[in-house]
Amino acid sequence: MYDVRHTRVHRAHTVGMILVTGATGQVGGRVAARLALPHALLVRDAAKAPETDKPVKVAEYADKSRMHAALQGIETLFLVSGREDRHRLAAHKTAVDAAVEAGVERIVYLSFESAAPDCTFTFGRDHWHTEQHIRATGLRYTFLRDNMYQEMIPRLAGADGVIRGPAGDGRLAAISYEDVADAAIAVLTEKSDKSETYRLSGPEALTLAEAAERLGLRYEPETVEEAYAARAHYGAPEFEVAGWVTSYQAIANGDLAEVTGDVERLTGHRPRSLSAN
């Protein structure tokens, strides 16, 4: 174990320029604000860029020419996964290819805990394919496979304070944005010649009923059929509804249940517990 703060001071002279993507998001924004190494920020919309004294670059992952320009002089790309849509994987691949052509040496990719080609959580399949594309480049990489975010759990509840979904009695080791950002900063700060994968979880695995109770909410189980029917009225694309429903199924299957020690190994502190505060 090591202390992230000590690592920043000790390693700063050995790590080149970093490009932090997703700089207006929950994880990327925290990393961009706290990373004490030379870095630039990448945003999709310049008008939404945070106030900073760091260079701000504007590009969409799918725009290879602008990504290539944004990546000039960058040693490490911190690639936060893009928005969940039909073209996300293609956009990821374009961003990775631009990084290779621009001379980037390392990619740190924010992936997902159960990433696999047949991942129950359908959105998680994009993460696996992105990982494979990064591996194939021959660049050094670090994959941060994080569990479901703790902050997302209360957003699953309806206006009546009830979370409904086909999660059964499965457990999830949800993790906070703060701990993912801390782990990312530790990895970005380390000058490593290895390619590694870390699995980031919270300190405990709770059922959705237990998590809901801790947050002052309630959980009501649904069947898979009920879950699809209940979400049909939103008018969302089929792939999006499938992503919503299969996130609960991944919990039910135990795909998100394992508590790992990687956050503590990287940061020197235990991950935060789920809390209503």
**Interval 212-223: pLDDT, tens:** 999 999 999 999
Mean pLDDT of 193-197: 94
Cα separation, 59 vs 125, whole angstroms: 24
User: Tokens at residue 34, please?
Assistant: 């706290």
User: Tokens at residue 87, please?
Assistant: 């073209």
pLDDT for res 132: 98
Q: What is the pLDDT of residues 105-155, one digit of tens each?
A: 999 999 999 999 999 999 999 999 999 999 999 999 999 999 999 999 999
| 129: Cβ contacts below 8 Å, ≥ 6 apart | 89, 117
Q: Which DSSP category does 268 fall into?
A: S
The DSSP secondary structure of 184-231, one letter per residue, reads HHHHHHS--SS-EEEEE--S--EEHHHHHHHTT-EEEE--HHHHHHHH
Cα separation, 248 vs 163, whole angstroms: 11
CATH superfamily assigned to domain 4-147+176-200+258-267? NAD(P)-binding Rossmann-like Domain (3.40.50.720)
Cα separation, 54 vs 63, whole angstroms: 22
Question: What is the pLDDT of the chain when averaged over all its residues?
Answer: 93
Which range among 8-12, 235-239, 242-246 shows the weakest confidence by mean pLDDT? 8-12
pLDDT category at 14 given cuts 50, 70, 90 is low
Mean pLDDT of 21-29: 96
Find the Cα–Cα–Cα–Cα dihedral 157, 161, 164, 170, rounded to 10°.
80
The DSSP secondary structure of 33-88, one letter per residue, reads HH--SSEEEEES-GGGPPP-SS-EEE--TT-HHHHHHHTTT-SEEEEE---SSTTH
